[in-house]
């Protein structure tokens, strides 16, 4: 297994947080054999404000430094933004022209051998039953632009700790965090094609279909309502043009 460097800030966070997560959660993690060596895009569904910590726990225990595309309003925050910046998180300027800058930074990181986690939904699911919504195209765009894999990660359980957009933590009784890592999405039929919106949306639909099928298997049920279109949601806040550009990983 290739040794991947972990930023000092991440090591410090792990030192304090991992024992807490080990005590307060149970882990049902499967599919780790599908994690490639080298750089790739990790594409999880998003069910809770708590799930980045739980995905980070999973990643660190599998020799991967958590590096997320993180909304710029968090990375640029006055009191805790410096923690995210020193942890080498990549700010994303959602729904602005600056989103392209973020994706170029992500591409450079992946090409440099890092793993970049991109939530294809771009936000926590608004589905009343917490099923995946439709996806934005960033994750597959980075994969197709770099020729690196995009790996689906389905999670179920963080929403029991903190329901989407709720404020009350429910740590006990201990919740089981189900994680399934699928095989890299087969995008071979899109390789070499111009990355048009049609191509990107078709590839993204394949990714979201895979995540939904993985969740259905864990939950033992199928969605009962149509998938929510993320493009119908309100425009997210951004500090684009008031922030420093994302760090380049090829320099």
Q: How far is the C-alpha of 133 from the C-alpha of 46, rounded, in Å?
A: 9
Q: Across the chain, where does the E strand assignment appear?
A: 25-30, 40-44, 69-71, 90-92, 115-117, 150-156, 175-181
When pLDDT is averaged across residues 14-21 and rounded to a whole number, the result is 95
- Name the percent of the chain lying above pLDDT 90: 73
The residue count of the chain comes to 251
Binning pLDDT at 50, 70 and 90, where does residue 134 land? very high
- What's the pLDDT at 99? 61
- Per residue in 166-190, pLDDT tens? 889 999 999 999 999 999 999 999 9
Mean pLDDT value of segment 23-29: 97
Q: What percent of the chain has pLDDT over 70?
A: 90
Rounded Cα distance between 251 and 233, Å, is: 36
Res. 251: pLDDT tops 50: no
Q: Which residues contact 27 (CB under 8 A, 6 or more apart)?
A: 58, 176, 177, 179
| Residue 17: partners with Cβ closer than 8 Å, 6 or more residues away | 53, 57
Local confidence band at 249 (pLDDT 50, 70, 90 cut-offs): very low
Residue 190 near residue 199 (C-beta atoms within 8 A): yes
């Amino acid at each position: 297994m290739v040794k991947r460097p972990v930023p000092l800030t991440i090591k410090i966070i792990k030192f304090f947080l991992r024992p807490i997560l080990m005590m307060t959660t149970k882990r049902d993690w499967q599919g780790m054999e599908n994690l490639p060596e080298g750089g790739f895009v990790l594409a999880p569904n998003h069910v809770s404000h708590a799930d980045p910590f739980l995905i980070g726990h999973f990643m660190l225990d599998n020799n991967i430094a958590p590096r997320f595309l993180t909304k710029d309003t968090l990375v640029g925050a006055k009191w805790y933004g410096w923690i995210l910046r020193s942890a080498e998180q990549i700010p994303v300027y959602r729904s602005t022209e600056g989103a392209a800058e973020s994706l170029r930074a992500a591409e450079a990181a992946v090409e440099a051998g890092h793993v970049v986690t991109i939530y294809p939904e771009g936000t926590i699911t608004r589905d009343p039953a917490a099923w995946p919504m439709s996806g934005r195209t960033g994750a597959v765009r980075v994969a197709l632009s770099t020729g690196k894999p995009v790996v689906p990660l389905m999670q179920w359980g963080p929403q029991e700790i903190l329901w989407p957009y709720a404020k009350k933590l429910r740590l006990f009784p201990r919740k089981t965090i189900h994680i399934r890592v699928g095989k890299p999405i087969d995008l071979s039929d899109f390789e070499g094609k111009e990355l048009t919106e049609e191509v990107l949306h078709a590839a993204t639909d394949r990714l979201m279909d895979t995540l939904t099928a993985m969740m259905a298997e864990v939950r033992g049920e199928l969605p009962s309502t149509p998938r929510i279109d993320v493009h119908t949601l309100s425009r997210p806040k951004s500090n684009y043009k008031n922030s420093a550009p994302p760090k380049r990983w090829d320099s």
